[in-house]
């Protein structure tokens, strides 16, 4: 039987990816961003950088392994790779470093791009081609914007894009709304109404789609 993964977006850049026996959390966000959630357990936390809106480990229970560095990690069978990038287009001089994480879970390849603020260098970009799922910031101001995100997606050709780090009615941080991205994207855009969204290998489209997830 094909393995099913449950994906939940909590707002900003925070996701949980749950497969049988394993929950991975990305960039946990605090209530100060306008998003809140009840504490829940996880096995692994991947943190792309240390800004306050991506590092609220206190909201996660259990005894998770917390990864905050680039490199290769084998976390009890979960193989994670982290690639150094920057949170701005000036070599990190404005907002510092950022890590893009990739991993395989439930037979699918995932990439979380954190607060990416630049076009990744060619050596990194070639490691990110044709992911099954890419979580990409699109809200501008502190990251790449909608137009830059569309160009990056065109270069990488992921199957599913979950846009993140954009303005919503709940968001306390001034960011561009997701429509500034989706109106530029020429492929299929799906608006998901409930969470979590279930993924299997059969879910993966043959051409890139954008799935806009609910944050509550």
pLDDT by position in tens, the chain (length 216): 568 999 999 999 999 999 999 999 999 999 999 999 999 999 999 999 888 788 899 999 999 999 999 999 999 889 999 999 977 777 777 777 999 999 999 999 999 999 999 999 999 999 999 999 999 999 999 999 999 999 999 999 999 999 999 999 999 999 999 999 999 999 999 999 999 999 999 999 999 999 999 998
Tokens standing for residue 97: 């470093």
Q: Say what the pLDDT of residue 4 is.
A: 95
> Which residues pair with residue 60 across a beta bridge?
40
Domain count, the chain: 1
Cα–Cα dist 47/100, whole Å? 9
Cβ-based neighbour number of residue 92 at 10 Å = 17
Domain of 38, in residue numbers: 5-212
> According to the model, what pLDDT value does residue 2 have?
64
CA proximity to 99, closest of 2, 185, 13: 13
CB of 53 closer than 8 Å to CB of 62? no
How far is residue 190's CA from residue 89's CA, in Å, rounded to a whole number? Answer: 30
Question: What six digits make up the tokens of 162?
Answer: 């979950």
Domain at 184, CATH number: 3.60.15.10
Query: In this structure, are residues 134 and 116 in contact, taking their beta carbons and an 8 Å threshold?
Result: no
Q: What is the pTM of this model?
A: 0.95
Q: Work out the end-to-end distance of the chain between its first and last CA atoms, rounded to an integer number of angstroms.
A: 30
């Amino acid at each position: 039987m094909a393995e099913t993964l449950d994906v939940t977006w909590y707002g900003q850049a925070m996701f949980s990816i749950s497969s049988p026996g394993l929950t991975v959390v990305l960039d946990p966000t605090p209530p100060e961003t306008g998003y809140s959630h009840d504490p829940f357990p996880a096995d692994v936390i991947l943190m792309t950088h240390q800004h306050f809106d991506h590092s609220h480990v206190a909201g996660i229970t259990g005894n998770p392994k917390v990864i905050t560095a680039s490199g290769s990690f084998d976390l009890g069978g979960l193989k994670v790779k982290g690639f150094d990038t920057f949170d701005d287009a000036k070599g990190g001089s404005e907002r510092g470093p950022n890590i893009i994480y990739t991993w395989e879970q439930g037979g699918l390849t995932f990439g979380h791009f954190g607060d990416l603020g630049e076009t990744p260098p060619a050596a990194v970009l070639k490691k990110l081609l044709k992911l099954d799922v890419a979580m990409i910031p699109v809200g501008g101001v502190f990251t790449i914007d909608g137009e830059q995100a569309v160009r990056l997606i065109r270069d990488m050709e992921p199957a599913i894009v979950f846009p993140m780090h954009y303005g919503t009615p709940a968001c306390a941080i001034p960011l561009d709304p997701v429509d500034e991205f989706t109106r530029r994207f020429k492929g299929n855009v799906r608006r998901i109404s409930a969470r979590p969204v279930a993924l299997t290998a059969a879910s993966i489209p043959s051409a890139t789609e954008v799935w806009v997830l609910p944050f509550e």
